[in-house]
A and B are shown apart, each in its own frame.
Chain A
């Protein structure tokens, strides 16, 4: 066993040695170790070099507040930016020290992550002395309690001290408390769980580490609590002096934790520099463990009596009224220089005492861990007594207890926890009995001396006085920020990067406020702290994502015909959450070849497309007609039963936001369709107006998108195909005219057939109940086979509609386009008194004649297909910026029937420019194109009847 590991003591299992590798060297630790305690046990202090100055840095703390000891875990799974003080040692662990920045793994994370949701009456954050009495008191009242602690076992600070409760070692009481909590069925204990965020209405988020071998590596808990008790403890504050960053300099409380928790001593000759009482316990405990204590340097004028006698008994040199002014050592501290510094003196004296040591313990007082309290919008004030920020003013149903509330002793923590637990239970309507508390017999604590920085005789600028070791931010940096005119702690933080590292300033935040205070000559309370934000400790994205990644990231919606498309090898396009077949390649066809073939088939023969994804809303009620007149630009009340009309919807600002068809099913019933991606938004929009503006209208809206599978048959031979499977239906143009619908039987199933066309060709849309979709589809494909029926996807549909100049809302429009801009004034009723958007058409801006209008563009080079989004400019040469933009290309394809590339574009005063030549960006060059009407094919509409 190494000279730094004691033969007995600590909460490690010496029968279970673990081998691990750090920076390529093999070491041994024990079950129960952290990586940091195992390194210290092997005499390794330096973990890395610092991020900016490249100085050696060592382990400084024993918990999440660690600013220095950053490691990259290589095995079992690569993970960057872990603090050695919170990594549980495991057999085969491989880690390397990090100079401030890690690297992400390139392999996929094989672990499983999950999320949990929970509700409780009282959530207790932290299971130290205050957290345990709070949880016990609340649990005894019958409250549903959750108690979470970041550590692997409950007990908090009690695990890292030699404290006794009721005369027995403190962990005896901890075990009893945990056993009692175990007996309450309504209590949930979450060890290894860090509560990292406190949001509105007591919604708290926590990360549970379940271990590398657990089925689920980590879980994120989302907890809604009626009452919250923050028993989050406190973090010891380091001291700022010249050379305060060398390996071998540890927080005094951390050294005590390494001793009592892990049976590890940090060195052989230890000096102590403190401004408060707590470091004396570390000196006494280490001495009793066989470590030589070189001296205890106290910035206060005298040593508190109980500690004075305990130290004198042990022959420990005491140096009150002094300060460490500088240190030396190459890769580790080897000497401190101590100078007299009485409380009323501005700077330490010039005479130095040199003290050789291999470890320096520092304590500048304790900062209550107010992070969650502050996230919950609790107030803070600076306590001159404690020299720290403490909670001052609580949000509803939130309390702090124990050292998180500034309580200085174990007895006070036990009592304040019990009190907070009782008050939380009472707030939940329960009766809480005063708890039976153990006694620690804590000695009274004398106030510390608040020391923000020790003036240095050798470093007057403060280049070696580190405020934030994680960011290499020094007193000199703060001086520079103030010299640049900054006074706000928020500005100085951003200028110096103070408190912005992985630890979010747990050791440096309050120090920074103090140093600023001193340099500005203000009070610390006035300077305040920077804002505390979630997460309290870093959280991996994998944990936040949980199972919602890969296939489960977003729901996928498929039609009842989907499997057929998959079997045909169609690639899919995402439209909202829908998967829609994009095109159907044959042989080794690429997309362009497939689309040209599909377009040709529809224009000359017959094509078939799955259009089930179109949104469908059933509109019913005596006022349905009046309602639709208000929400569509054209008039729907005059539509006859059995007929269909195209409709545009505008927002009140007159801009198009969806389009579709409206079929009158009955006197008081319509079926309207929406774009595939817009269905939910349209339904919500319509409900908004019905519920809040026109509640007098008797109308009900129902989404029926997934009630109907819909199949489009398009092309001059579509009537022939349909007639083969719908022998009973009259399909000729007089019996079944354009823009009408009828019910009938298709392939043996009841169907509703619409004669509408999105391609300009003779076309039918056949709707059947969803579950018959594939059967009817296959029947139509089989019936069409002799006619060369060709399945086509969304790309062909887009090309065909663009040839007809039909816009796609969201592609050719962007929320700034009116029906008139689209050249669809014909779809805007002049007879209706009002409809949504009407008033806006006469607004000065909307009525301009030089607005961007939808036009066609034909590139001079017929082989060229312009890029969608390409900017349109006037001249072939670009003038000096800013270049006036005329508009942009919204849709662009190669057309089989036009035998060339063509495009739709929104162009300023486009309709007045028809015939003009403009230029569009194409990579690095500009290409000429002629503005045309937006309808390229069959302007007369001669093809729709076949």
Chain B
């Protein structure tokens, strides 16, 4: 059970959160102008690193805010969290 630092509510148990996958995957500015290949990349392809990973979390059973978090996927150690980095554009 990780202790996740919500930027609004402070450190809380992992069960209060929903995982949102890789951070920084922006919705294309003009999807209709994007190639099929690029669109498929946006829809289906995500990084899965061993080690540091920037990801999105939602404090679902708390303030219901999305925020960004950098986590080491090997140790589950949280490196930092930041409410501003959830904004992808």
Contacts and interface: CB of A to CB of B under 8 A. Distances in A.
B15 to A, nearest CB: 10
Contact of B87 (A224, A377, A653, A692): A692
B32 A839 contact: yes
B81 interface: no
B36 A844 contact: yes
A687 B1 contact: no
B39 A200 contact: no
A834 B75 contact: no
Contacts of B40: 843
Interface in B1-57: 1-3, 13-14, 18, 20, 26-28, 30-32, 34, 36, 39-40, 42-44, 56
Nearest to A696: B89
A688 interface: yes
Interface string A269-312: 00000000000000000000000000000000000000000000
Given A688-B66, A691-B65, A692-B86, A653 B43 contact: yes
A216 interface: no
Q: Label chain A's interface by main secondary structure.
A: mixed
Contact of A200 (B3, B56, B58, B65): B3
A410 to B, nearest CB: 35
Given A684-B18, A688-B58, A843 B66 contact: no
Contacts of A834: 30-32
A695 interface: yes
B1 A200 contact: yes
A652 interface: yes
B66 A687 contact: yes
B60 interface: yes
Contacts of B89: 693
Interface string A218-234: 00001010000000000
A839 B34 contact: yes
A130 to B, nearest CB: 27
A199 interface: yes
A833 B32 contact: yes
Interface string A132-152: 000000000000000000000
A317 B81 CA distance: 68
Contacts of A843: 36, 39-40
Interface in A187-207: 199-201, 203
Given A692-B66, A838-B32, A201 B27 contact: no
A840 interface: yes
Contacts of B58: 684, 687-688
A840 B1 contact: no
Q: How large is the interface on B (under 10, 10 to 19, 20 to 34, 35 or more residues)?
A: 20 to 34
B57 to A, nearest CB: 11
A692 B86 CA distance: 5
Interface in A668-708: 684, 687-688, 691-693, 695
Contacts of B27: 652, 693
A688 B44 CA distance: 18
A483 B47 CA distance: 40
Contacts of A222: 1
Contacts of B77: 200
Nearest to B20: A688
Contacts of A687: 58, 64, 66
Contacts of A695: 87
Contacts of A838: 31-32
A203 B1 contact: yes
Nearest to A199: B1
Nearest to B40: A843
B2 A200 contact: yes
Contacts of B88: 692-693
A652 B42 CA distance: 9
A38 to B, nearest CB: 39
Interface in A869-891: none
Contacts of B42: 652
Given A692-B66, A693-B89, A652 B1 contact: no
A844 B34 CA distance: 14
Contacts of B13: 203, 224
Contacts of B60: 684
Contacts of B3: 200-201, 203, 224
Interface in A825-872: 833-834, 838-840, 843-844
Given A201-B2, A201-B3, A377 B75 contact: yes
A669 B75 CA distance: 46
Nearest to B83: A691
A201 B26 CA distance: 31
A617 to B, nearest CB: 13
Contacts of B39: 839-840, 843
Nearest to A843: B36
Contacts of A201: 1-3, 76
A684 B64 CA distance: 8
B8 to A, nearest CB: 12
Contacts of B31: 834, 838-839
Contacts of A840: 39, 43
Interface string A354-387: 0000000000000000000000010000000000
B3 to A, nearest CB: 4
A658 B52 CA distance: 35
Contacts of A692: 56, 66, 86-88
A843 to B, nearest CB: 6
Nearest to A653: B43
A691 B66 contact: yes
Contacts of B26: 693
A692 B21 CA distance: 13
Nearest to B27: A693
Nearest to B39: A839
Contacts of A693: 26-27, 87-89
Nearest to B86: A692
B7 to A, nearest CB: 12
A652 B36 contact: no
A200 B36 contact: no
21 contacts: A199-B1, A200-B1, A200-B3, A200-B14, A200-B76, A201-B3, A203-B2, A203-B3, A224-B3, A652-B27, A653-B43, A684-B64, A687-B64, A692-B66, A692-B87, A693-B87, A838-B31, A838-B32, A839-B32, A839-B39, A840-B43
Interface of B: 1-3, 13-14, 18, 20, 26-28, 30-32, 34, 36, 39-40, 42-44, 56, 58, 60, 64-66, 75-77, 86-89
Q: Which 8 A-B pairs have the closest CB atoms?
A: A839-B31, A201-B3, A203-B1, A200-B76, A200-B2, A692-B86, A691-B66, A693-B27
Given A691-B86, A839-B34, 6 more contacts: A224-B13, A684-B58, A692-B87, A693-B27, A695-B87, A840-B43
